[in-house]
Structure 1
């Protein structure tokens, strides 16, 4: 096996996979041999940096492991296949991770299934056309992490899902997620400091809808949950731009954003979100 080429190993693996056994061997033993050969071929492909071929060989190995009832091994093999596909074929990587996750759920291993859903979300997030699938995977991961008592990891997945929801302009769902993350964070002295950021993000989503009245009511609720929020930079900024939006005062809005940006640079998805809010404020008459 050591001197054989990857192609030769793959050919032998396929022959044994199709074998029905013989006088001195059972189909099961042939299938077990095929698994070893598929994995050996995959290793040779990896040495030659032929990652797509390595991934395909590992998928065949995983399929045979499922066929022989070795589903726990199959889950690991599918995940290894996804790592090979990750750089060359993200679509196949997602399929492999999905199959791994399905097996883990079937086996009742929800913590590991949550890890794989998180991996799946990361793959989908790399392509703007699959952001909706990334959102769904992060949400699924957060639910399973929550069930397993991994609240910190669940919260992290919820934050990622909330950011994607904003990119997809799913503002009501983003609000629910940011407020849920804030509620979780309030329960720990280690994470309570971050609540102001989550309330700000939720408030910005209200303004992006736009629903200025709901934004102001939400801020009153946030003050009840965290009495210190209104005096924070985030709380004062949110209040300032909410008032500017309420009155259609673009000059005041721009001034508030510029002041906050000097203290805490506004970048990434938050900058995009504020730009969208600004456009809505610009379209409203100045009632000041």
Structure 2
């Protein structure tokens, strides 16, 4: 194979893959040879930085591994294919990862399946048209991580999912996720410090809906779960924003945001979220 081109290896692999056996060899042995040839072709394509061709050759190898009953090998080969494809053909990379995840689930390997779903979510997140799929993939990964006792990784996935939900303006879903992350964080001294951030994010989502009554009830619930929350900068900021929304006071809202921003700069998705909250105040009819 040393002097054979990637294209020639690929042609030979396809011939072996379609073989039905003969007098001196079985179809299964031909398929095993095809797998080796597909992988050899993929390696040569990778040397030449032809990653799309490499990924497609590995997908063919995985398909043949399934035919020969080697599902464990196929799950890994699909994953290798996805690594080649993710830079050149993200949609095909996602397909390969999904097939890998499905095979891992069939084998009861949920921790590794969760890793694949998380990889899928990261790719979806890069495409503004597929954020909804990214949200679903992060949630599925979080569920599987939780089942495997990887609670910290599950929470990280739920945080990423919550941010996507905010971008999609799916505020009830974002609230559910932030409150879930907060609940999971309360039981550990290592993570309890971050609960105030999660409660603030959830509270702002209530106000972005806008649902002031639910936000008020949520504030009471957060104080029950974490008695120290109302005295934190985040708790006081949320309370002040809630009051400004309740009374329709844009100046008070802007002042609260300015004061908090000086302590803890407001950037990115949280800045966008606060813009949504501000808009809900500005759109309120003046009944005076």
| TM-score where L is the length of structure 1 | 0.98
Residue matched to 1:124: 124
CA distance in 2, matches of 1:286, 1:263: 32
The answer for the alignment partner of 1:38 in structure 2 is: 38
Please say if residues 247 and 287 of structure 1, whose CA atoms lie closer than 8 Å, have aligned partners that are also in contact.
no
Q: CA deviation at 1:24?
A: 1.4
1:261 and 2:235 equivalent? Answer: no
In structure 2, the partner of 1:230 is 230
Within 5 Å, give how 1:116-195 maps onto structure 2. Answer: 116-195=116-195
| Contact 1:34 1:61 (C-alpha < 8 Å) held by counterparts | yes
1:201 is matched with: 201
Match of 1:282 in 2: 282
**Alpha-carbon distance in structure 1 between the residues aligned to 2:215 and 2:248:** 15
d(CA) in 2 for partners of 1:32, 1:255: 70
| Residues 2-34 of structure 1: CA deviation (Å, up to 9, x unaligned) | 110000000000000011112211111110000
Question: Which runs of structure 2 are paired with 1:241-256 in the superposition (5 Å)?
Answer: 241-256=241-256
Question: SS state of the match for residue 86, structure 2?
Answer: helix
For residues 20-59 of structure 1, what are the structure 2 equivalents within 5 Å?
20-59=20-59
Q: Distance in 1 between matches of 2:204 and 2:280?
A: 12
Deviations 1:13-72 (A, max 9, x none): 000001111221111111000000000000000010100000000000000000000000
Equivalenced residues, count: 288
Q: Distance in 1 between matches of 2:87 and 2:52?
A: 9
Deviation at 1:272, TM superposition (A): 0.6
Q: CA RMSD in A?
A: 1.0
CA distance, structure 2, for counterparts of residue 42 and residue 272 of structure 1: 44
Aligned twin of 1:75: 75
Q: Distance in 1 between matches of 2:26 and 2:217?
A: 71
Greater than 3 Å deviation, 4+ residue runs: 285-288
**Partners in 2 of 1:147 and 1:167 — Cα distance?**
28
TM-score (norm 2): 0.98
Matched, 1:63 2:63: yes
Aligned-pair CA distance for 1:285: 4.5
Unaligned segments of structure 2, at least 5 residues:
none
Deviation at 1:216, TM superposition (A): 1.2
Structure 1, unaligned runs of 5 or more: none
> Could you tell me how far apart the structure 1 residues matched to 2:285 and 2:266 are?
26
Range with bigger deviation, 277-286 or 227-236: 277-286
